[in-house]
Chains A and B, each alone.
Chain A
Amino acid sequence: MQIHDDEQFEVYLKRFHPIAPEPVPTLRIGHSTRRSLSLGISLAAVAAVLVIGAVILHIRSNQVVVSNTNSDAAVAQRHAPSEPLTMRSANAWLATAPSFKSAVDGLAFRPQISPLPQGKQSAVAVLSKEKIRL
């Protein structure tokens, strides 16, 4: 390297750039606080909209279910199998029902019409008649 005068040497020295310091923590915190504050506000707004939407949807779906429950139960009762519930009858009912929902409803709302064989009693009926002294 040929450096003949001080000016050239100064230029050479200036080519070495001092290494930048680490950022001041507070400056970073200040910015992140501002950023996180605005982010928090927008997130809260989105969350509020979602919650309100979910509540409205929930109320509406409840109303629909309530209005449909009686008719669904009536339809299910009409088509429900009359014999006692066994795996076979349940399978058959699921296979022939118009939809899965109506099949489940039919099984749930089926009338208690299972007749007992002669000479046999329902244990629940017997127990309900007995007076148990404790």
Chain B
Amino acid sequence: MSDRSSNKEPQSSFDHVLTRSDLVRRALAGGTALSLGGLAGLADEAWAATPKPTRGGQLRVGAVGGGSKESLDPNVGFNESDVMRHRALFEGLVEFGKKGRIVNQLAREIAPNGDASVWTIRLRPGVVFHDGKPFTADDVIYSLKYMLDPTNKSASLTLLQPVLDPSGIERVDSGTVRLRLKQSNSLLPQVLAERTMKMFPSGATGRALDSNPVGTGPFKFQSWTRGERSLFVRNGNWSARGAFGPAYVNELLVLSITEATSRFNALLGGQLDIAADVGASLGRVAQRNSRLRVLSTPSASFTAFYMALNAAPFNDVRVRQAFRLMIDRPQIIKSVLAGRGKLGNDLSSWFDPNYASDLPQRPHDPEKAKALLKRAGRAGLHLSLATSDAAQAMLESATLFKEQAKTAGVRIDLQKVASDQYYNVYPRTPWGQTNWGGRPFASMVSYAFLEGASFNETHWVRPKFTKLFLTALRTSNAAKRKALLVDAQHLLWDDGGYIIWGFPNTIDAMTKKVKGLVGSPLRPCNFYDVSSVYLLK
């Protein structure tokens, strides 16, 4: 009883003294210290601002599920609840930590040679798998070779194959692995931080990973029913390391609930502690409820317009520039996202240390847009646009853009496509809408800005850009590399085909019992890592 009041008291007085954003900022700062230090001692320091974390209890989180598509195998999971499971059970060599920064996880050190073509990975000592076996270089080699074997259908293959051949993986000793890359890549840690590149025990098959996964992560597998629920228990050998916190709760229950409204109702009905990613409108409802708390996190995922550079009228840079000028970004953020969003400057990856923050914000200038269109011989342009509610804010932003375009004399006819059909239709149209998760810039480039890249929606093929990017990949000096990557982004800003008007915040709702959750720009619910969450008794 006295325990309970001592927990409650400082919290309620805290709420009066500090605003929520203050709390978040403090926690963020603490989290970074924790990632860099990787020491349990620092973790306590980090949370000094909030009541002392309590251990124990069961944390129940609701996230979008994938029905029978769900998997425990980190190589094949694609939906949100899969991400949560994989982040709880497994670790990568490196992981995305607070603010989307990459931190060493199972690697103690990742060091390149002079031209970043050979990397030496020293492993964190003393790490054991959930079954008690030590984690060694053999497991790293097995995991990487498993991902590179096309018959395993690993989601990591697409990103890893251009970088590494199985023959380039060498065992130096039981705690060290050397990777000889196909070509220089000074941003290898970004590739290895991809969420599907987890380390698993040597000899594990896909079947074994899906039925009884053994990882090194903060939680151990207990039981699951595909498409419904997974129950994990705290890894007894765990202490806070790398991107992950101390794992305060004893049990983690992940519930697959696909509809945001259903997740929210389950939270209201006391069936969940956290409802991940409920969206802006339910977030407003949650805010009015005295039992609930809302975490609104600036996100790097975005819904944007793309214009294909190889198709008229967008093959003319003046038309692309005009379209980027005639969109009223603040208005869309205000009315579509209820103000909960970040202004976009036609570039992705704002959280990336290599982001071109030196560029001015592109203004809303319909007059200049009109003049540009006139000069391009495209005054009074009339187009159709396929849109859908396949992603957050997609249909709404298209509807607003249609109105805004009128001020520049452009007429847009909207054609609504069913949401489950949109991604079968969209890449064949000269312009359209798209949705991207939060990714570092280099990862965006390999997906969207190279010739033949899988998602080059804008048909961006610019030798100058490619050369800058490849030079950056050969450059080990971080400052020089950033300068090259910033130059590359300048080209995209001047000449590219994306209209990135903004980044919707991710909104997670939770009961006031839940403490310690800090957002990540990459995915909802702290990129689905709850190892820093604790429950008030």
The finding on whether chains A and B are genuine partners in a shared complex, rather than unrelated, reads no
Residues of A within 8 A of B (CB): none
Residues of B within 8 A of A (CB): none
